[in-house]
Amino acid sequence: MKVLVLTGPESSGKSWLAEEIQRQFGGVLVGEYVRQYIDEVQRDTVYADINLIAHQQLAREDAARAIKPALLILDTHLLSNILWSRTLFNDCPAWLETALAERQYDLHLLLSPEGVEWVGDGQRCQPDLGERQAFFDASRQWLVAHGQPFEVIGGSWSDRSERALQRVARLLND
């Protein structure tokens, strides 16, 4: 089983690319639970929500891992929970970093905010490119610091799709 994570700032194409990758290669796709949660509770998240959101994201990841698909595609993982918690609340539950570091991921596609326009959807809150770039930089810093395999995906939507599909094809052939 190969485990692929799409990560990076909002409005950089993670969900779209995850679906593109699944269409091309099959596999199991685990979506971003926090989006469903916000739809259900009809409000912005608060710090008290972070543990529940993270536990639900992990539960969905674990359920998908249990069926051992050839390709497991994660639209996000705990890194987003960690960085959003720090961004929004200047704090993060201590267990998240340890839980993330204990898991094995074969490749992270780190999506750059540059080259594509921000699209509001009622849940996104970082229309400023500088804020999204800071989130990207924090993501990259964590991946490097923890020795995680990653490739930066940027450019236009078509460039992103082409590069991501090529990189996943290489992953699956390794």
What Å distances lie between residue 59 and 14, 32, 54, 63, CA to CA?
20, 12, 9, 6
Question: pLDDT by residue (tens digit) across 123-133?
Answer: 666 677 788 89
Q: Name the pairing type of β-strands 71-74 and 28-30.
A: parallel
Domain extents in the chain: 2-173
- CATH code for 2-173? 3.40.50.300
Residue 139 to residue 141: CA distance in whole angstroms:
5
How much is the pTM? 0.93
Instruction: Note the pLDDT of residue 174.
Output: 87
- Cα distance between residue 69 and residue 103, in whole Å: 17
> Once rounded to an integer, what is the mean pLDDT over residues 33-51?
89
Q: What is the pLDDT of residues 94-133, one digit of tens each?
A: 999 999 999 999 999 999 999 887 676 666 666 777 888 9
